[in-house]
């Protein structure tokens, strides 16, 4: 339970009312994941609705992303030394992978310090977030590159920007009005996109990771792991006593609900590797963080 605190901080800004009202009735912090799952379902339906949209300018998109990112910012002092090291690792890999993105935007990369969060998401204009629970599942840096590449491509291919416009339209928000955008619940961004966009982010993210010097097999081994987890925790509904906490399992189930089946993502990754002739790029770097602690404080 000690680990749940940072997640609460993340949620407070976006859905303070909701959090407190749920907290009164039910002290278990599982409600946040349930909201993500609900948002995922709603999102899938929304994305199907035909809508004619005028594209935001890059400057508008960046401004909107900045407003939203303020709701997620966590000061470094609140992170343990290990979490600070994870945060710099996410930044380091993120910068290598984003170097070859099509759009030149202020991409930035952040850890969400919550082991119960098995997810990653991006905001319009550049910010990318990776949950600590997702990092816990990784065994190679190339897997991190695959996950980050996927999130960058949601920004790079305007999926995030279009989401702002769809949400604004549905909620009758005026994009120009400061604060209006903040009425979009933060979970909307964690809830994934439609299937075509998810598969596009997978393909394009793999290309970015390869251009950044990573193995395309990072995506393959990540999807194999998802596939195993999907079978254990969704198909066979394993007892929460096994390995993952209840919170992490709910988060994982929300993730699977909002993304194409891992088997399908894996098949696409393998066919892209065959098509691009990447079969000789099998070697992956181990997932490794190194950091120094002095007097209990993170040094570098
Ligand atoms: Zn995605």
Expressed as residue numbers, the domain containing 137 is 2-298
The tens place of each residue's pLDDT in the chain, 300 residues long, gives 334 333 333 333 333 323 222 222 333 344 455 555 555 655 555 554 455 566 778 998 898 888 888 877 778 778 999 999 999 999 999 999 999 999 999 999 999 999 999 999 999 999 999 999 999 999 999 999 999 999 999 999 999 888 888 877 777 766 555 466 667 777 777 788 899 999 999 999 999 999 999 999 999 999 999 999 999 888 887 765 667 888 888 888 888 988 999 999 999 999 999 999 999 999 999 999 988 888 777 877
pLDDT of residue 189: 78
Distance 104 CA to ligand 1 centre (A): 20
Distance 258 CA to ligand 1 centre (A): 8
pLDDT of residue 2: 37
Distance 194 CA to ligand 1 centre (A): 9
Distance 150 CA to ligand 1 centre (A): 6
pLDDT of residue 5: 38
How many structural domains comprise the chain? 1
Distance 174 CA to ligand 1 centre (A): 26
Distance 120 CA to ligand 1 centre (A): 8
What DSSP string runs through the chain?
Answer: -GGGHHHHHHHHHHHHHHHHHHHHH---TTHHHHHHHHHHHHHHHHHHS----PPPPHHHHHHHHHHHHHTT---GGGS-HHHHHHHHHHHHHHHHHHTT-SS----EEEEE--TT---EEE-TTSEEEEEHHHHHT--BHHHHHHHHHHHHHHHHTTHHHHHHHHHHHHTT--TTSTTTGGGS-THHHHS---HHHHHHHHHHHHHHHHHTT--THHHHHHHHHHHHHIIIIIIS---TTSSS-HHHHHHHHHHHHTS--HHHHHHHHHHHHHHHT-TT-----B------EETTEE--
Distance 27 CA to ligand 1 centre (A): 30
Distance 157 CA to ligand 1 centre (A): 12
pLDDT of residue 53: 60
């Amino acid at each position: 339970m000690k680990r749940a605190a940072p997640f609460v901080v993340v949620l407070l800004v976006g859905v303070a009312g909701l959090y407190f009202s749920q907290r009164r009735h039910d002290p278990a912090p599982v409600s946040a994941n349930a909201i993500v799952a609900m948002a995922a379902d709603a999102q899938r339906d929304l994305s199907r609705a035909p809508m004619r949209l005028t594209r935001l300018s890059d400057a508008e998109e960046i401004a909107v992303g900045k407003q939203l990112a303020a709701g997620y910012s966590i000061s470094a002092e609140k992170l343990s030394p290990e979490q600070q090291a994870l945060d710099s690792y996410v930044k380091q890999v993120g910068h290598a992978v984003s170097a070859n993105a099509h759009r030149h935007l202020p991409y930035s990369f952040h850890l969400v310090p919550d082991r119960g969060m098995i997810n990653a998401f991006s905001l319009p204009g550049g910010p990318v977030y990776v949950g600590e629970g997702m990092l816990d599942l990784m065994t190679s840096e190339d897997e991190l590159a695959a996950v980050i590449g996927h999130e960058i491509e949601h920004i790079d291919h305007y999926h995030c920007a279009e989401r702002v416009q769809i949400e604004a339209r549905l909620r009758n928000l005026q994009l120009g009005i400061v604060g209006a955008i903040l009425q979009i619940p933060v979970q909307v961004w964690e809830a994934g996109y439609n299937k075509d966009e998810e598969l596009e982010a997978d393909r394009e993210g793999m290309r970015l990771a390869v251009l950044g010097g990573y193995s395309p097999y990072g995506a393959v081994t990540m999807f194999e792991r998802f596939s195993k987890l999907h079978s254990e925790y969704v198909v066979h509904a394993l007892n929460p006593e096994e390995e993952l906490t209840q919170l992490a399992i709910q988060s994982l189930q929300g993730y699977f609900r909002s993304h194409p089946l891992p088997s399908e993502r894996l098949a696409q990754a393998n066919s892209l590797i065959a098509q691009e002739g990447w079969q000789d790029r099998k070697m992956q770097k181990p997932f490794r963080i190194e950091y120094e602690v002095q007097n209990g404080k993170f040094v570098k």
